[in-house]
Chains A and B, each alone.
Chain A
Amino acid sequence: MFKVKYFEYIRTSAVIVIALAIAFLIISLVSDQPVKTIGIFLLEPLNSKGHIGNVIEMAIPLMFTGLAVSLLFRANMFNLGAEGIFYFSGVVTSVLAIHLTLDGWLHPIVAIAAGSIVGALLSAIPGILKAKWNANELVTSLMFNNILFGVGLYLLNYHLRDAKAFANVSYKFEKTALLSKMVPGTRIHTGLIIVIVLIIAAHLFLYKTKWGYELRMTGINRNFARYSGMKTAKVIILVHLIAGFIAGMGGSVEVLGMYNRFQWTSLPGYGLDGALVAMLAKNNPLSVIGAALFLAYIRIGADMMARLSDVPSEMISIIQAIIILLISAEQFLKFWKNRMLLKEAKEA
């Protein structure tokens, strides 16, 4: 017997099933060996320790940006700036990882802190513009993505670039700056611990503190929150600061955890994926973990599929679009919910 309170879980599962069914349909249309290709897509990510490691490695940046976007969405802020901040904070951290010499664990801490603070400050700009003058945060944040990318790429090309390397990459980071690996045979790094701690902290913040309450109320109805005496402008700026801090930390951790030099010559895309993670997680910090793992799993599956079969990995973006459209569709399966409500009312 299903209960109405489980409805959201059922709905999310139904969306995932539909999306996967469409994925299979697309694969069978374009692949010469559809069954084998679907097998690769679904099973290959779990096939070996290394592959499971790949899924977890990819989930780490998705958790960071997913958490950041969750908080923004929770405050009803449609800000997609995590993308540019993730990138730019990565550049800032790279500068410190290359040019600073510090002993042991202090080096990554300083470099990550710098990236996070820069991220928070950059994120505050669209926040202030929104809070004070009601400037559309979606458009400003997307413009900021392009601006931050341009400035970051300039820094890479003109100030960090290693002329001896053949590709467009920075000088190598100092060894002391790198995050250590946790599981032998994989590249899972200590960033995983950092992000899990952040997620728990965000959960406590959101549900156990006054500020978190104000944030949630502002998100539900800004006017109502203001009339009940909350300083909503302050709340909006605060949530932008926190989200920027988290997204910036994500970029910094990713750079120091996965690479030994800076090498992104285009926006890495984790910020926009963060929006998808946030939606799958229903903007709940703890659920971000599962949502990020799921997204990383189908991503790695798509990558393996592109490598081992004739289906390109970009197929996954079609699946992601379907997930977003259906997850945010209020009316999807609503008739079912209504029937359940009716039944429960009758039983009571």
Chain B
Amino acid sequence: MNSLFDVIFTTDFAFSVLRVTTPILFAALGALISNRAGIINIGMEGIMLVAALAGVIVSSYTHSAWVGLLGAVMSGTLISGILAFFTLKFKTHIILGGVAINMFASGGTVFILYLLSGDKGSSTSLASKVLPSVEIPLLKDIPVLGPILSGHHILTYVSIIAVFVVYYLLNRTPLGLRIRSVGENPHAAQSVGVSVVKIQYMALLLSGFFAGLGGAYMSMGYLSLFTRDMIAGRGWIAIAAESMGRSTTVGTALTSLLFGTADALSNALQVLKIPAELIATLPYVATVIGLVIYAVSETRKKNKKLKSPLVK
């Protein structure tokens, strides 16, 4: 057990928690916005995967990591836009639409990767660029905090800023108010002149934008290339994090951090003599447990409400 603590109570481990939380946090914020507008975007996983590939392709052809990032984010928004078009215009079932996006992404990315690089596994032959990591002046010299908080990938800092941006967007802007009102009661929103479909379009596009950032981080930060199915369930974990965070910005950010910790733990424990296959399941086990705890407490709350004489 000693060696377990040796692994966890280090600045390296705390650093890696932030590193692996980043993609989950981006996607969870995206899921949060669309959920608040009353739409469950199940396509997170696929959108991230497409964006991760787009970042690699665009950056390798333009020789610029920043243009690559733009390409990733735009492709994420575009895929989300396609999903929005089908669900809002053609009334495709939102969950099945999301399943379709994921199915498209898992094969489609390999298809495009093969056409461009002749390789079905990874993008090693494409000279893609990586976004830089940033040392924060002053902060980096503080002991303990410095090694944990400084030197991260730029998108990791963007993800932390994004939490505040999303909080501000949802709670302090007219668009945020409309998103929340559409999600809570579309008919009431409609009756006061809010275009429900338009707001839901906006929310889905924004969720694709954030998933795109998460995807870009995976292939241009977390790793420096694209590999098939590299999102590996992070999109789903993000959806679970959002659900467990009770659809609040702060809650979502905290549960994302929790799942990031589980993920980092599964990486860190690889050095111990526990089979890697079992350790790899840790984030998923954590997700199920988290989801169950959330669901149980919600049910209790609802039952209490029903029994209370005040609410009739």
Contact = CB atoms under 8 A, between A and B. Distances in A.
A151 interface: yes
Interface in A103-151: 129, 132-136, 138-140, 142-144, 146-147, 149-151
Interface string A4-30: 000000000000000000000000001
A324 B284 CA distance: 27
Interface residues of B, number: 44
A134 B110 contact: no
Nearest to B106: A317
A158 interface: yes
Nearest to A312: B114
Interface in A298-315: 312, 314-315
A46 B281 CA distance: 42
B90 interface: yes
Interface in A193-221: none
A226 B100 CA distance: 32
A154 B279 CA distance: 10
Instruction: Indicate the member of B91, B107, B120 with the most A CB atoms within 10 Å.
Output: B107
B168 interface: no
A272 B103 CA distance: 8
Contacts of B132: none
Is chain A's interface secondary structure helix, strand, loop, or mixed overall?
Answer: helix
B95 interface: yes
Given A139-B243, A157-B275, A318 B107 contact: yes
B281 A147 contact: yes
B239 interface: yes
Interface in A263-305: 272, 275-276, 279
A80 B89 CA distance: 26
Contacts of A140: 288, 291-292
Given A133-B296, A139-B239, A157-B277, A321 B284 contact: no
B41 to A, nearest CB: 12
B68 interface: no
B311 interface: no
A135 B114 contact: no
A213 to B, nearest CB: 23
- Give chain A's interface residue range (CB within 8 Å of chain B): 35 or more
Contacts of A138: 42, 95
Nearest to A149: B281
Contact of B86 (A78, A276, A329): A329
B141 interface: no
Question: Considering residues B42, B111, B292, which has the most beta carbons from chain A within 10 angstroms of its beta carbon?
Answer: B111
Given A140-B291, A272-B103, A317-B103, A147 B299 contact: no
B298 interface: yes
- Please list the 4 inter-chain residue pairs (A to B) with the smallest Cβ-Cβ separation, ordered nearest first: A317-B107, A321-B104, A150-B281, A329-B90
20 contacts: A78-B95, A129-B291, A134-B295, A135-B291, A136-B295, A139-B236, A139-B240, A140-B291, A143-B291, A146-B284, A154-B277, A272-B99, A314-B114, A317-B103, A317-B106, A317-B107, A318-B104, A320-B103, A324-B96, A325-B90
